[in-house]
């Protein structure tokens, strides 16, 4: 007994000592900017937070996923005097990490995330013009840049994008004699025909109303019914009859048994897995689906089509864009130098030599013109997707209440799934954000 105890205590001591030793050597390894002594001299340290997009993200930035080296090492070798303190954070935790750092007045220098509008009213972000080199700025798709404008100032640059469309399993539809639907009515016909033909074996239509993706579901149907999040003037217009009809239609599909059984908890991964296994006939999802299915070892004969719209309405492709933004750092000793370093970071990141690898690695679509050529050369299907991307509508992420709306529409949908009233929910949401 005593021996065991002594052994354990000794073990613990060793760990503790080892840990202390480790931290002693740590500052030399990777000094955090705010901890670094002012005397660090010429060296500039940039805190960067990148979101975890796929299995390769971490490897590409920090491991050996970039032809044997990684982003950080290559950047630091090419740009002496700038150090990157780069962190890859999972999407589940990233808001928690960023918000905590902001609350403690210690935001990262460069952040890659989906939303930006909540940071603008507090004056946390720097205008893009301050740090982005002119030639790079002109390289971004203008339509993308326009999505990050608040009060005539550009606050973030697009990082990458994805376009969403209707994917369908060609074989399943063909066998049941079903045409690809283009309108809502045809969609219901197709679903019914598939349901009749396959019984419960195949789900005709995939719907994802989970807490993370409910806003996408809202967009697919509301935009396909001439509605949307905002009106022509850019003001919130959530409780329009079109939107109510759209949500009711989507929920109706679930209630008629055309869809996967648990839309509120079956995530995009589940749906894509079902599609890859031939269990799901049609699905609205991102252009990365083919890559996903191939990675998962699925062998599905799939094709894409436009997202069905209501009779007489023109639908719209749904685009999703993530952004890179830069936080102010009033404590930085030399602002001009910091801006220059950030500019170098962006130049390096968007350099086709690096950027093409980054975008194509996870099957995303690019945000800069200079990458298009190389991407289309590597995979012809990119060309078609870039066309789709050109006609996409994006979420109104530049509006300050976007976070509330995004959760709000999801809650309305989920509520409707269990029998709640759509109009009531949208009315309340509209009153909250517009009132």
Partner 1 sequence: MNSIHVKHKWEPYLWLLPSLLLIAIFVVFPILIVFKLSFSEITPGGVIGGFIGFQNFVEAVHLPPFKTVMLNTFWWVLSVVGLSTLLGFIIAMVMNQKFRGRKIARAILVFPWATSLVIQASIWNYIIKYEYGSLNSVLLNLGVINQAINWRTSYPIEFIWECGVGIFVTVPFVAFCVLSGLQSIDGSLYEAATMDGAGFWSKLWNITLPMVRPSLTVSTVLNIIYVFNSFPIVYTMTKGAPAHKTDTMITYLYMLSFYERKKGPATALSVIGFLILCLCAGIYMVTVMRKEETQ
Partner 2 sequence: MRDPELKRVNRRFLLLLILGIALALILMSLPLYSFNAAVYVKKSPNTFVGDEKYLAAMEEVESVAAGYRDQGFDVEISEEALERVNSKGEKTSLITFTIQESFSKNLFSFLGCGLASSRVLTLILILLGLALACALLGTLVSMDLPQRSLPRRTALLRSLASAALLLALLLVPVFVLTNNYTFSRQISLYNKDLLTEGKDLLFAKLDRFLFQGGMGSGIDNALSQMQMQTSPLIWVLMPALFLSLLAAVQLRRGSIKSALLRGLLYFFVVVVCLITLFPYYVMTITAFRSNAETLDMYFLHLFPTEWLWKNLTSIIQRGVPRYLLNSLLVAGGATCVAMLCGIPAAYAMARMDFKGKKAFLGFVIMSQMFSPVVLLIGISQLMNTLRLNDSVVGLMLINAAFNQAFAIWLLRGTFVSISPEMEQAALIDGCNTTGALTKVLIPMAAPGIVTALIFVFINAWNEYTISTVLISTDINRPITVGITQFSSFNMIEWQYLFAASLLATIPVVILFMSIEKHLTSGLTSGGVKG
Kindly list the residues in this chain that would bind partner 1 in the complex (CB under 8 A).
95-96, 98-100, 102-103, 118-122, 124, 209-212, 261-262, 264-266, 270, 273-274, 277, 279, 400, 403-404, 406-408, 411-412, 414-415, 417-418, 420, 428
Q: Is 360 in the site for partner 2 (CB under 8 A)?
A: no
Spatial distance between the Cα atoms of 38 and 53, rounded to a whole number of angstroms: 35
**Hey, what are 432's tokens?**
């909250």
Residue with tokens 């300050």: 400
Q: Of these, 8, 336, 377, 431, which contacts partner 2 (CB under 8 A)? A: 8
Of 157, 33, 165, 154, nearest to 86 by C-alpha is 33
What are the DSSP calls for 244-284, one per residue?
A: HHHHHHHHHHHHTT-B-S-TTT--HHHHHHHHHTT-EEEEE
| In the complex, least distance from residue 118 CB atom to partner 1, rounded to whole angstroms | 4
- Which residues 6+ apart lie within 8 Å of 120 measured at CB? 150, 155, 400
Q: Of these, 103, 134, 142, 151, which contacts partner 2 (CB under 8 A)? A: 103
Residue 297 binding result from partner 1, partner 2, none, given CB thresholds of 5 to 8 Å by partner type:
partner 2
Per-residue x/- mask for partner 2, residues 27 to 66, rule CB under 8 A? ---x-x-xx-----------x---xxxxx-xxx--xx---
- Which residues 6+ apart lie within 8 Å of 348 measured at CB? 75, 78, 79, 354
Per-residue x/- mask for partner 2, residues 197 to 226, rule CB under 8 A? x-----------------------------
Q: Is 91 in the site for partner 2 (CB under 8 A)?
A: yes
- The secondary structure element, H or E, covering residue 113 is strand 110-113
Question: In terms of residues, how long is the chain?
Answer: 435
Give whichever of 127 and 261 is closer to partner 1, judged by the CB atom: 261
Q: Is 92 in the site for partner 2 (CB under 8 A)?
A: yes
Decide if 205 contacts 259 (C-beta within 8 A). Answer: yes
Taking each helix axis as running N to C, give the angle between helix 352-361 and helix 369-378, from 0 to 180 degrees, rounded to the nearest 10: 60
Decide if 159 contacts 324 (C-beta within 8 A). Answer: yes
Burial class of residue 47, CB neighbours in 10 A (0-12, 13-18, 19+): buried
Give whichever of 130 and 213 is closer to partner 1, judged by the CB atom: 213
| In the complex, least distance from residue 102 CB atom to partner 1, rounded to whole angstroms | 4
Q: Is 20 in the site for partner 2 (CB under 8 A)?
A: yes
| In the complex, least distance from residue 427 CB atom to partner 2, rounded to whole angstroms | 30
Residue 1 binding result from partner 2, partner 1, none, given CB thresholds of 5 to 8 Å by partner type:
partner 2
| In the complex, least distance from residue 270 CB atom to partner 1, rounded to whole angstroms | 6
| In the complex, least distance from residue 282 CB atom to partner 1, rounded to whole angstroms | 16
Give whichever of 19 and 149 is closer to partner 2, judged by the CB atom: 19
Burial class of residue 193, CB neighbours in 10 A (0-12, 13-18, 19+): middle
| In the complex, least distance from residue 103 CB atom to partner 1, rounded to whole angstroms | 5
Residue 415 binding result from partner 1, partner 2, none, given CB thresholds of 5 to 8 Å by partner type:
partner 1
Total residues interacting with partner 2, rule: CB under 8 A: 76
DSSP 400: T
| In the complex, least distance from residue 395 CB atom to partner 1, rounded to whole angstroms | 15
| In the complex, least distance from residue 10 CB atom to partner 2, rounded to whole angstroms | 10
Q: Of these, 73, 79, 97, 428, which contacts partner 2 (CB under 8 A)? A: 97
Asked whether the CA dihedral 387, 212, 405, 100 is positive or negative, the reply is negative
Of 348, 320, 389, 327, nearest to 116 by C-alpha is 327
Asked whether the CA dihedral 259, 264, 268, 272 is positive or negative, the reply is negative
Cβ atoms within 10 Å of 268's Cβ, excluding its own: 18
Give whichever of 203 and 394 is closer to partner 2, judged by the CB atom: 203
**Hey, what are 235's tokens?**
């003001």
Q: Of these, 188, 245, 266, 329, which contacts partner 2 (CB under 8 A)? A: 188
Q: Of these, 118, 130, 139, 273, which contacts partner 2 (CB under 8 A)? A: 273
**Hey, what are 153's tokens?**
């100032």
For residues 294-313, which are near partner 2 according to CB under 8 A?
295-298
Q: Is 278 in the site for partner 2 (CB under 8 A)?
A: yes
Part of the chain binding partner 2 (CB under 8 A), chosen from 223-231, 273-281, 300-308, 342-350: 273-281
Spatial distance between the Cα atoms of 373 and 239, rounded to a whole number of angstroms: 42
| In the complex, least distance from residue 64 CB atom to partner 1, rounded to whole angstroms | 27
Give whichever of 269 and 369 is closer to partner 2, judged by the CB atom: 269
């Amino acid at each position: 007994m005593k021996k065991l105890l002594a052994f354990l205590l000794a073990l613990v001591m060793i760990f503790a000592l080892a840990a202390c030793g480790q931290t002693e050597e740590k500052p030399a390894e990777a000094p955090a900017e705010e901890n670094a002594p002012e005397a660090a001299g010429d060296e500039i340290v940039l805190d960067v937070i990148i979101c975890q997009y796929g299995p390769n993200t971490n490897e590409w930035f920090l491991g050996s996923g970039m032809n044997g080296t990684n982003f950080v090492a290559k950047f630091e070798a090419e740009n002496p005097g700038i150090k990157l303190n780069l962190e890859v954070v999972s999407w589940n935790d990233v808001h928690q990490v960023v918000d905590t750092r902001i609350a403690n007045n210690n935001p990262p220098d460069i952040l890659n995330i989906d939303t930006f509008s909540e940071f603008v009213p507090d004056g946390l972000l720097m205008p893009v013009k301050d740090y982005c080199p002119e030639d790079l700025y002109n390289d971004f798709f203008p339509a993308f840049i326009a999505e990050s404008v608040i009060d005539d100032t550009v606050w973030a640059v697009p990082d990458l994008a994805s376009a969403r469309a209707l994917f369908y399993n060609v074989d399943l539809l063909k066998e049941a004699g079903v045409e690809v639907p283009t309108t809502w009515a045809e969609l219901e016909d197709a679903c019914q025909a598939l349901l009749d033909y396959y019984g419960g074996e195949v789900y005709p239509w995939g719907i994802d109303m989970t807490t993370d993706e409910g806003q996408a579901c809202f967009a697919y149907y509301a935009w396909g019914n001439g509605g949307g999040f905002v009106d022509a003037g850019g003001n919130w217009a959530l409780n329009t009859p079109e939107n109510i009809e759209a949500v009711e239609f989507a929920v109706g599909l679930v209630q008629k048994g055309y869809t996967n059984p648990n839309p509120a908890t079956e995530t995009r991964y589940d749906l894509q897995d079902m599609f890859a296994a031939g269990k799901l006939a049609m699905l609205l999802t991102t252009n990365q689906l083919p890559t996903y299915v191939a990675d998962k070892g699925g062998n599905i004969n799939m094709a894409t089509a436009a997202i069905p719209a209501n009779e007489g309405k023109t639908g719209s492709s749904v685009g999703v864009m993530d952004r890179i933004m830069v936080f102010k750092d009033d404590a930085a000793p030399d602002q001009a130098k910091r801006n220059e370093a950030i500019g170098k970071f962006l130049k390096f990141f968007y350099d086709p030599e690096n950027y093409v690898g980054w975008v194509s690695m996870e099957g995303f679509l690019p945000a800069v013109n200079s990458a298009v050529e190389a991407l289309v050369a590597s995979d012809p299907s990119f060309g078609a997707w870039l066309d789709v991307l050109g006609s996409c509508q994006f979420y109104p992420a530049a509006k300050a209440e976007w976070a509330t709306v995004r959760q709000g529409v999801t809650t309305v949908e989920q509520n409707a799934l269990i029998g709640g009233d759509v109009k009531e929910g949208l009315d309340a949401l509209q009153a909250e954000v517009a009132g």
